[in-house]
Amino acid sequence: MIEYKNPRFMQALLRQPVDRAPIWVMRQAGRYMPEYRAIRTKVPDFLTLCKTPELACEVTMLPIDRFGFDAAILFSDILMIPDAMQLGLKFVQNEGPTFARVITSKRDVEQLPTLDPEEDTPYIANSVQLIKKALDQKIPLIGFAGSPWTVATYMVEGKTSKQHNKIRGMVYSSPDIAHQLLSHLTTETIKYLQAQISAGVDCVMVFDTWGGVLEDNLYQEFSLQYMQQIVAALDIPVILFTKNGGRCLLQQAQTGCVGLGLDWTADLKQAKETVGDMVALQGNLDPAVLYADPTTIASKARQILDVYAGETGFIFNLGHGITPDISPEHVQVLVETVQNYV
């Protein structure tokens, strides 16, 4: 394993002794940073940013240089796989992602292409290589993909949805089509993550933003089962994050992953008791805490840090992505609170 100048993220993930809890935040390279917004104006759209390795690298490094986070995460998106499948993905300002072609039938699933990461998403490996060089073994790099279920929700709904009626309807009316789609996405996601691993990422995180909209047994059948297949296929530490997934932590821990992300609705102390020393935990400050004053931010962060005080196996993060209207000064307060916690 590579020796990092700052190894505490990988140490905490592998539950080895640490000097303090590491911190990084989901969407750390994003619109809340003026430096990001400046680079973003240089390109016509967000997807171009993701597909231009020099810019993706520059953006990845912004929060590292400004705040001194303990891990970097590849700048990209969970929708690069369906984008490469030519489904007409567009990011419309203030509306989020939309697809020109949606998946509704068995025929739609059967017509989905098989991807070759080298041919179809070459910018991913190129970005990883550039970022690794820029990081210069200072801190590790996290690769990522969406969970098959979460990516499928966008492909079936065609856009961000609150109710997910189309895909949840599919689960009940045509479970075989849903499984066929999820199996295909699982195969593609494994290849996509293997390309990131070959290019040099140190661990990978699977984002399951919408697994929590399913009842528990259906979550296990339609989301967790496929994440488990991904974990089993990869020869690298994997972090699983299901938003609103706190009810099935034990089942998640049993997949063989090394870390679990928690959103803010989960009680960290209870979660720690549930998983014991099976996995490391990552989370789980409500991103909305960052709207409060510095004293409140520091005190809420310390409440979380108290749970693992003096122990390893914990990575400080938000319970979901940081929102675009957060002040960078408040992020600075959060980072310093974690860095100075004793």
Task: Look up 154 and say whether it is catalytic.
Answer: yes
Question: What is residue 102's DSSP assignment?
Answer: -
Number of residues that bind ligand CP3 (CB under 6 A): 21
Active-site option among 4, 36, 154, 219? 154
Residues making up the chain, counted from first to last: 342
From the list 58, 70, 77, 263, which residue makes contact with ligand CP3 (rule: CB under 6 A)? 77
Q: Which is nearer to ligand CP3, 200 or 294 (CB)?
A: 200
Distance of CA 330 to the CA centre of its chain: 22
Read off the amino acid at residue 90: K
Give me the least distance between CB of 205 and ligand CP3, in Å please: 8
Task: Look up 116 and say whether it is catalytic.
Answer: no
Query: Applying CB under 6 A, does 316 fall inside the site for ligand CP3?
Result: no
From the list 54, 88, 96, 114, which residue makes contact with ligand CP3 (rule: CB under 6 A)? 96
Beta strands in the chain (DSSP E): 72-73, 89-92, 96-99, 141-146, 203-208, 238-242, 259-261, 280-285, 314-318
Give me the least distance between CB of 198 and ligand CP3, in Å please: 20
Rounded CA-CA distance 231/234 in Å is 6
Query: Applying CB under 6 A, does 321 fall inside the site for ligand CP3?
Result: yes
CA atoms within 13 A on the CB side of 6: 19
Distance of CA 181 to the CA centre of its chain: 21
54-73 residues in contact with ligand CP3 (CB under 6 A) are 73
Partner residues linked to 91 by β-bridges: 97
Query: Applying CB under 6 A, does 46 fall inside the site for ligand CP3?
Result: yes
Which range of residues in 27-35, 108-116, 120-128, 327-335 is near ligand CP3 by CB under 6 A?
27-35
Which are the catalytic amino acids?
27, 31, 40, 77, 154
